[in-house]
Every structure is written in structure tokens, then in C-alpha cells.
Amino acid sequence: MKKDLLPEELTTEQQLRRRTLKAFAWFGLVSLVPIGVWKWIAAQPKAAGIRKPLRQVLDANINLNGAYFSDTHLAPTFPKGLAAKQVRVNGRDGLKSTIDLTTWRLRVEQPGKSALEFTLDDLKDLPKQDLIFDFKCVEGWSQIQHWGGVRFSDFVKKYGLDSTSKYVGMETPDRGYYVGLDMQSALHPQTLLAFEMNGAPLTTEHGAPLRLIIPVKYGVKNLKRIGTIRFADARPRDYWAERGYDYDLAL
């Protein structure tokens, strides 16, 4: 019977061959781990559009974002001369139906209270704010844009709305597009209810008569054509979160 050689008795070539074979064996074994993990994830039930373990990771990210979020954390702003003259149009969900701007009203719903309605003139009674910032899209593009409107926080304060709720939901009049925001982000000093773009009234494709501008979030959270604002303690539905995206989408 052939005797197995001890490691020190092997030639350099034999030692190298043995180590290579061991490395391949370990690599094969380790490579099975992520495959097994992925199979386990794929077998789990869905939660808001994606498998539950993945949603739990995204929710953990939201908690982390909330821990360092601050009103003093402001998106960089720019002079008017740098703003794009042709603002990029992206997405028409919630804008496919026609709307009569003369009869449009902003509906506000609060827990335990009757719904309120506001005209555009009601909002224009508040101090107007201009904001020129780098609008960022999850698709990877960005553009310096100029928006005008009123701070959401000023709107809440002026009309005594419910700032104690945990969340704010917004949706288009046809309910075709909708977003959910944590209250802290909604009340951020740069969050606007915008009715102007480049110093002129909003166009239809950019969300006339009123849209959300929130620089601390990616573009998909900047809802066009707001029809209803809803204050709630439960997390409101969100169009892209239902399709597997991060609910927060913070920058």
C-alpha cells in the first residue's frame, strides 16, 4: 500500500497542486452559501412589493436615515443663472387625465376632522419662496432647476393643520400617483408646495397647478399635480414602494 507523503516530503510542485485543489474545494463550498441564502429569500412572503427580508433591510435603512436627519441639513442651492431653461419632463403617472384648473381645489384630510379645501390663492397668501437646487432622479440624471412656491411648514402653521401626525400622504386627483412622507421630511424648510417654475406658472406636464418639491428626496417623491394631502399616523401608501423601492428614497 502506497504511503501518503507528509507535507514536508512533497515537492514544491506537489505542494502547489494540493493547495490549489484545496482552494477550489473551499471556493465551491463557499459559493453555495449565497445561492442558499438567495433561495431562502426567494421562498419568503412578499412585503410591499419585495421579499420580506429585503424589505426589512430597506426599513432598517430608513431608521438609520431618520437618526441623522436634521432641518439644518440643506440641499445646496444655486444662482438663477445656472437653472435649466428647459426643465426635463420625466413620468406622466397621475397626469394622464385632463383637469380643469379653474375648479381645482387642494383637499386636506386629518384624523378625526372634516376635510378642508384650499384654492391656489389661499396658498399664495403665504410668503413665496424660490428654490434653485440640483433635482436628482433615481435613474441617475440630475438637473439644476428653479421652483417657486410656499413652504409646506408655513402652510401647516398658517392653517393650523396636524403636524403631530407621523406621516403625510399626497396623491393626484385621479389617484393614479401617490407618495408617502415622514412628517420630519415634510416639514423640512426646503420642502415646497410649488406653483411656479422658472418664474412662470407650472405647465401641465410639470404638475400644474400645484406640485411637491422636496430636495431631500429623489425625484419620484416630488409628486406632480397634488389633489389630496392626508395626515396620518400609519404609513401612507407609496407608488414606488409598492413596486419594491425604498420607501424613504432619501438623498
The answer, yes or no, to whether residue 23 has pLDDT greater than 80, is no
pTM of the full structure: 0.78
Percent of the chain with pLDDT over 90: 68
**pLDDT band at 70; cut points 50, 70, 90:** confident
The domain ranges of the chain are 7-42, 52-243
**Higher pLDDT residue, 199 or 2?**
199
Please give the grid coordinates belonging to residue 107.
383637499
pLDDT of the residue at 244: 87
**pLDDT band at 2; cut points 50, 70, 90:** low
The answer, yes or no, to whether residue 43 has pLDDT greater than 80, is no
Over residues 112-130, the pLDDT tens digits come to 999 999 999 999 999 999 9
Over residues 25-40, the pLDDT tens digits come to 556 555 555 666 656 6
In the CATH hierarchy, which top-level class contains the domain 52-243? alpha beta
| Residue (of 119, 103, 235, 117) closest to 178 by Cα position | 235
Structural Rg of the chain based on CA atoms: 26
Over residues 151-203, the pLDDT tens digits come to 999 999 999 999 999 999 999 999 999 999 999 999 999 999 999 999 999 99
Hey, how many other C-beta atoms are within 10 angstroms of the C-beta on 175? 11
| Residue (of 90, 101, 120) closest to 205 by Cα position | 90
